[in-house]
Amino acid sequence: MKNLIIILFLSLLSTGLFAQKVTEKNIALKNNKNVFVNLKFADDIEIKTWDKQEVYLKSTVSINKGKFDDYFELNIEEKANTLVIESGYGNLFKDHGWKSKKKNDDYSNNIDIDAQYVLYVPKRVELKIKSISGDTNIKEYEGVLITDLVGGDITVEKYLGDLRLKTVSGDIDIKIDNASLTAKTVSGEIYSDESLSLKAEDKLVGQKVQGNFKSGIYKLNLSSVSGNIYLRKM
């Protein structure tokens, strides 16, 4: 009995340490609206397309090991031609962060946020995704995709549509097929498979390459300031 009590106690303790808030949203997408998703703080963002005319977003969030999970919310707004989904944290940073005395500093992080997202959007819509810290992973995407990331990496395995991928300090890793490509960095490097035929542009700062592959029907614009770009043959 004593051993059983100890096991139950450890189990409850472990569960408390890994408490998470799981939120799922299904939103019908009417009149071929565009989709804008702003996930401010994220660890991983997985993006997929499907045949349903709805957007599905699942968030799995733990804030300070579950202590502040109730602050997290997903806000949804329908504008004229865009469905907007944004993550929110209410007064989390005001209540539990601390403010630097330096004029331009924001709230510091006494806050530890672990946030995982899975996002499905209908095929052939235009999706713009924005995040401060999230790594974006795309195994297969059909439609127009625009990213605006600060510190996250972007990985794309297969696409059917135009891509405009931008990250400030993250890397971009993409398999190239049937595309007209422009890729550029400021302080990062661009690497490619030897079999990819690319034209490099001489620049005083950074690197820029261009190339056309097969019929080149999809436009790829890739940009990273300090991260690297990896171009791989499909």
Give pLDDT tens digits for 22-43.
999 999 998 878 999 999 999 9
pTM, two decimal places:
0.87
User: What does the pLDDT read at residue 101?
Assistant: 45
Q: Identify whether 5 is part of a domain.
A: no
Of 109, 133, 157, the one marking the end of a domain is 133
Q: Are residues 182 and 112 in the same domain?
A: no
User: What does the pLDDT read at residue 102?
Assistant: 46
- CA–CA dist 143, 163 (Å, integer): 8
User: What does the pLDDT read at residue 98?
Assistant: 60
- Domain with 180, as residue range(s), is 140-234
User: What does the pLDDT read at residue 212?
Assistant: 96
Q: Between residues 91 and 101, which one has the greater pLDDT?
A: 91
Q: Are residues 74 and 43 in the same domain?
A: yes
Of 133, 162, 183, the one marking the end of a domain is 133
Q: Are residues 129 and 147 in the same domain?
A: no
Of 133, 161, 196, the one marking the end of a domain is 133
Share of the chain above pLDDT 70, in %: 87
Spatial neighbors of 154 by CB under 8 A, at least 6 apart, are 135, 136, 138, 147, 165, 167, 170, 171, 172, 173, 174
For the stretch 137-179, pLDDT in tens is 999 999 999 999 999 999 999 999 999 999 999 999 999 999 9
